[in-house]
A = this chain, B = another copy of it.
C-alpha cells in the first residue's frame, strides 16, 4: 500500500504535529483548513460525472472535512487544471456546481492552468469560533459511537454507474451529489464541552471507525443491525464503501440528550486499538481501506 508508505515518509521528514486529522487546526488563527484533490481516472471518470457534478463534489468533500473537524465552513479556493481542448462551458458548469455546493460558503480564489487530464484541488477554510474542534484521537472508553445517516448508498450508486445504469436516483445522487452534514456537525461542535472524536465517512464507515480506534488507542465495537442503510445495499458495501460523507462521532453518552437526529451504532471500549464488528475483531479493515493509489 504505497499511499501509507508515502505518508510515513512525509511524517518522518516533516516531524509535524499537524498531520493526522483531515483538517489542520490552526489555533493561533482560529481556523481549520483542509485540502483535497480529485484526479481524472483516479477519483472520477469524465464519462460518469458532469462538469456541474464535479464542481459540486469537489467543493462538498472539502466542506465535509471542515464539518468533521467541528469547524464552521467559511471559504473555498479552487485550483483547476484542464486539458487544452476544454470548452468554456465546462468551466462555467463546473463553477455553477461548485457554487451550488457552497450555500453560505464563499469561493475566494485559486488558479486555473493547463494539464493533460482534469485535476481539481480544493482548499476549505473553517472558523473555530464558538466551536469545539474534534480530533480522531479523542475517543474514550464509555463514549457512544453515533452516525448522522445512511452508509453504503454512494458506493452502491457508483457500482450502478459503472454498469451503465442511472437508477434508482437515490443511489446515483448519493454518489454524484453527496451532502456534507453541516447542521449535524454544527449541533455537536457548538454544544459539546468534552473532547470528542469526529470524522466523515469519505473513505468508508469501517475505515473511519478504525482510524478513530487507532488514533485513540481504544476498541470500537459496533452492531451492524444498528447501522442505518438502505436495505438494498449489502453490509460489505455499507461497511467498506466510501464517499457517503456522513458524520461518525464518538461522544460521551450523557451528551446525547443535547442533540438530535443521530443513530447510536456502538461503543468505545478500553484498548488495544481494534475495530469489533458484531463482537468479532475485524482484521480485514486495513486491507480493505478505500485507497486511491
Question: Which listed residue, B96, B108, B125, touches A18 by the CB 8 Å rule?
Answer: B108
Q: Which of A84-92, A130-138, A164-172, A241-249 contacts B (4 or more CB under 8 A)?
A: A84-92
| Bound: A28/B121 CA distance, A | 24
Verify if A39 is at the interface (C-beta below 8 Å from B). yes
Interface: A113 (CB within 8 A)? yes
Total A residues in contact with B, Cβ cutoff 8 Å: 62
Q: Return A18 CB to nearest CB of chain B, in Å.
A: 4
Q: Which residues, 80 to 112 on A, are CB-close (under 8 Å) to B?
A: 81-82, 84, 88, 91-92, 95-96, 99, 106-112
Cβ–Cβ < 8 Å partners of A82 in chain B: 6
A113 to B43, Cβ gap below 8 A? yes
Asked if B113 and A33 make an inter-chain contact with CB atoms under 8 angstroms apart, the answer reads no
> Which of A8-16, A183-191, A259-267 binds B?
A8-16
- The quantity of this chain's copies bound in the complex is 2
1/0 contact trace for A145-176 toward B, CB 8 Å? 00000000000000000000000000000000
Give the Cβ gap from A82 to chain B, nearest Cβ, in Å.
8
Contact A41 B116, CB 8 Å, known A35-B111, A77-B24, A109-B35: yes
When the two chains form their complex, are residues A108 and B16 in contact, meaning their CB atoms are under 8 A apart?
yes
Q: Show 29 residue pairs from A and B whose CB-CB distance is below 8 angstroms, ordered by the A residue.
A: A2-B84, A6-B82, A6-B91, A6-B112, A9-B88, A9-B95, A10-B95, A12-B92, A13-B92, A16-B108, A18-B107, A26-B74, A28-B127, A29-B125, A33-B109, A33-B123, A35-B110, A35-B111, A35-B123, A37-B79, A37-B113, A37-B121, A39-B113, A41-B116, A42-B113, A42-B114, A116-B116, A116-B117, A119-B119
Instruction: List residues of chain A with CB under 8 Å of any chain B CB.
Output: 2-3, 5-7, 9-10, 12-14, 16, 18-19, 23-24, 26, 28-31, 33-37, 39, 41-43, 74-75, 77-79, 81-82, 84, 88, 91-92, 95-96, 99, 106-117, 119, 121, 123, 125, 127, 292-293
